[in-house]
Amino acid sequence: MSKRISIFGAGYVGSVSGGCLAKLGHSVVLVDIDKVKTDIINSGKSPIIEPGLDDLLSNGVSKGLIEATQSTEYAILNTDISFVCVGTPCTKHGCLDLSNIYAVVNQIAKAISKKKDYHVITIRSTVLPGTIDACIGIIEKETGKKNGVDFSFCSNPEFLREGTAIHDYFNPPYTLIGNNDEKSLEIMKSVYQDIEAPIYNTEIKIAEILKYINNSFHALKVAFGNEVGLIAKDLGIDSHKLIEIFIKDTKLNISPYYLKSGFAFGGSCLPKDLKALCYYAKAQNINIPVLSHVMASNNNHINAGIDMILSTNKKKIGIVGLSFKSGTDDLRESPMVLMAETLLGKGFDIRIYDKNVSLARLHGANKSFLEFHIPHISKLIVDTDKFDEMINFSEVIIVGNKEPDLVERIKKAVKEENKIVIDLVRIDPLLVTNNNYHGICW
Ligand SMILES: NC(=O)c1ccc[n+]([C@@H]2O[C@H](COP(=O)([O-])OP(=O)(O)OC[C@H]3O[C@@H](n4cnc5c(N)ncnc54)[C@H](O)[C@@H]3O)[C@@H](O)[C@H]2O)c1
């Protein structure tokens, strides 16, 4: 069913949204403070250069589905859903400037006071978490109306790319709706019902931040590709041929693998190979700031874990898992070994349990790494049948490996008074940071 939609901000996002929503059969009122833009749209033309947009807007205007105005009141009183698409620039230091958002929301608040019907306000602009909560506060204070009852706020971030914006609008990876109530969710779903893409519903803060995470990842990918290109060129390798092979690995490279927030990486390969590549680049005077700061980021994450332990002010520490990941006895460059070494150096009384690590069976580089970092390891390692004893001893339990058979016992410890569990591997998604359970980054 077609909807009556107003769009605030007739720039790249707003005018593309307007043209596309009209193409989907909705009627659209575009609002902009810039009269030049509203006049251009009303004459059936596009205020921006974007392939195909002139046609969409002229069709919409000639069918009476699109009009543009400078009047917020007209737009609010004649529509049921508003998309806010105004610019959210940042200062030269990177600070987000939300003045356009708050100006629009204040204008909308005044207009909504004059309206009896329920209205949905959707922030399409890119804003940091907390912005929508502040917007809800503005409208509730100004109008005396209640969010979720008289009006509802949603977050619906935009994923289009300029130059292919219309294609992207109709073919998004998914539609994301962050909101707090069923009524606005159903309305938002019906706006997008003719777009063939999954609709994901989530909490407002996740929807607000997602665009920043997407774009930061895209920026990181560009920087990574460019740094690899510099090294490849130096080696006389065609970087495009190299990356073409690289991206064909959709199991580990271009995949969700390695992306879940957790603890630092370690093991016999990642640190060694990353360091060797960075060393080579340095020797060749190739500047690769992203790659050469990855180890620093990893060390920083180990320090974040250590800081969490220090902040408990407890001394008896039980470490569950010493190897760099579960299911292996490989201790080389294990962040758990480095963490244990630091704690020992600071005088903590620690016990270590790892069912895969048997001191008798360790040899070679694995053994040397452990003995170098924790010379008295044999006094600290707990026998496999003494896990419960270690839990009873510990004031703080650090979970460094996810061993399925230990999860229930650790979850029991979470409920015990005077025990603190610091989880580096997310043993159970249902456990959320609370009094005595602390996730490293959740
Ligand atoms: N451009 C993109 O490719 C893109 C993609 C995804 C998300 N975004 C995000 O979408 C938002 C809009 O970006 P854009 O590129 O369309 O910006 P833009 O600068 O092209 O357009 C913003 C429009 O808002 C208007 N405006 C400002 N204050 C107003 C007010 N009080 N009332 C009505 N109109 C007002 C301006 O006159 C302008 O026409 C930003 O948050 C941006 O980060 C942009």
- The sign of the dihedral angle between the CA atoms of 336, 338, 340, 343 is negative
pLDDT for the residue 376: 82
Q: How many domains does the chain have?
A: 3
Distances (CA, A) of 299 to 128, 276, 281: 28, 17, 21
Residue 130 dihedral angles phi and psi, to the nearest 5°: 105, -20
Residue 10 Cα: closest atom of ligand 1: 39
- Across the range 398-414, mean pLDDT stands at 91
The pTM for the full model equals 0.93
Residue 171 shares a structural domain with residue 124: yes
What b/e readout covers 6-39, taking b as 16+ CB neighbours within 10 angstroms?
A: bbbbbbbbbbbbbbbbbbbebbbbbbbbeeebbe
Residue 153 shares a structural domain with residue 236: no
Q: Which two tokens stand for residue 351?
A: 């016990």
* C-alpha closest to that of 179 among 139, 150, 206, 215: 206
Residue 244 shares a structural domain with residue 380: no
Task: Give percent of the chain with pLDDT exceeding 70.
Answer: 100
Residue 133 shares a structural domain with residue 95: yes
- Which of these is catalytic: 20, 85, 90, 269? 269
Residue 168 shares a structural domain with residue 250: no
Residue with token string 């403070």: 33
pLDDT digits (tens, 9 = 90+) for 212-241: 999 999 999 999 999 999 999 999 999 999
- Could you give the 3-state DSSP secondary structure of residue 241? helix
Residue 150 shares a structural domain with residue 169: yes
Residue 26 shares a structural domain with residue 139: yes
What b/e readout covers 111-143, taking b as 16+ CB neighbours within 10 angstroms?
A: bbeebeeebbbbbbbbbebebbeebbeebeeeb
Q: What is the domain extent for residue 241? A: 208-259
Residue 184 shares a structural domain with residue 68: yes
Rounded to 10°, the helix 294-310/335-345 angle is 50
Last residue of a domain, one of 173, 202, 231: 202
CA-CA distance, 6 to 104, in Å (whole number)?
12
Cα three-residue angle 247-300-217, rounded to 5 degrees = 30
Examine the pLDDT at 6 and tell me if it is beyond 90.
yes
pLDDT digits (tens, 9 = 90+) for 176-187: 999 999 999 999
Work out the end-to-end distance of the chain between its first and last CA atoms, rounded to an integer number of angstroms: 40
Residue nearest to atom 33 of ligand 1 (CA): 32
Rounded to 10°, the helix 270-283/294-310 angle is 130
Q: Which two tokens stand for residue 146?
A: 């209640």
Residue 189 domain-assigned (yes or no): yes
Q: Which two tokens stand for residue 44?
A: 């059936």
Examine the pLDDT at 360 and tell me if it is beyond 80.
no
7 or 414, greater pLDDT: 7
What is the domain-level CATH number for residue 95? 3.40.50.720
Residue nearest to atom 39 of ligand 1 (CA): 11
Q: Which two tokens stand for residue 51?
A: 């392939």
- Å from CA of 10 to ligand 1 middle: 7
Residue 177 shares a structural domain with residue 231: no
Residue 282 domain-assigned (yes or no): no
Residue 149 domain-assigned (yes or no): yes
Residue 12 domain-assigned (yes or no): yes
From its phi and psi, is residue 258 left (phi > 0), alpha (psi between -120 and 50) or beta?
left
Distances (CA, A) of 221 to 62, 212, 214, 286, 290: 43, 14, 11, 18, 10
Cα three-residue angle 208-210-137, rounded to 5 degrees = 5
Last residue of a domain, one of 184, 202, 220: 202
Residue 278 domain-assigned (yes or no): no
Q: Are 334 and 393 in contact (CB under 8 A)?
A: no
Residue 178 domain-assigned (yes or no): yes
Q: Is 85 a catalytic residue?
A: no
Q: Which two tokens stand for residue 43?
A: 């004459």
Residue nearest to atom 1 of ligand 1 (CA): 12
Residue 195 domain-assigned (yes or no): yes
* Residues whose CB falls within 8 Å of the CB of residue 389, separated by 6 or more in sequence, listed in order: 382
Last residue of a domain, one of 166, 182, 202: 202
Lining ligand 1 with CB less than 6 A are 8-14, 31-34, 37, 85-88, 100, 103-104, 125-126, 158, 160, 162
Grade residue 357 by pLDDT with cuts at 50, 70 and 90.
confident
Lowest mean per-residue pLDDT among 66-70, 95-99, 299-303, 332-336 = 332-336
Residue 153 shares a structural domain with residue 128: yes
- Across the range 399-426, mean pLDDT stands at 91
Mutate to test the pocket of ligand 1, among 13, 29, 96, 98 (most ligand atoms within 8 A of CB): 13
- Sheet containing strand 349-353, strands side by side: 349-353, 316-320, 396-399, 420-423, 437-439
CA 69 to chain centre: 36
pLDDT digits (tens, 9 = 90+) for 256-314: 999 999 999 998 899 999 999 999 999 999 999 999 999 999 999 999 999 999 999 99
Residue 319 shares a structural domain with residue 421: yes
Residue 16 shares a structural domain with residue 96: yes
pLDDT for the residue 240: 98
Residue nearest to atom 19 of ligand 1 (CA): 87
Residue 16 Cα: closest atom of ligand 1: 16
Residue 344 domain-assigned (yes or no): yes
- Å from CA of 87 to ligand 1 middle: 3
Grade residue 160 by pLDDT with cuts at 50, 70 and 90.
very high
Distances (CA, A) of 391 to 270, 332, 351, 404: 32, 26, 9, 16
- Å from CA of 166 to ligand 1 middle: 16
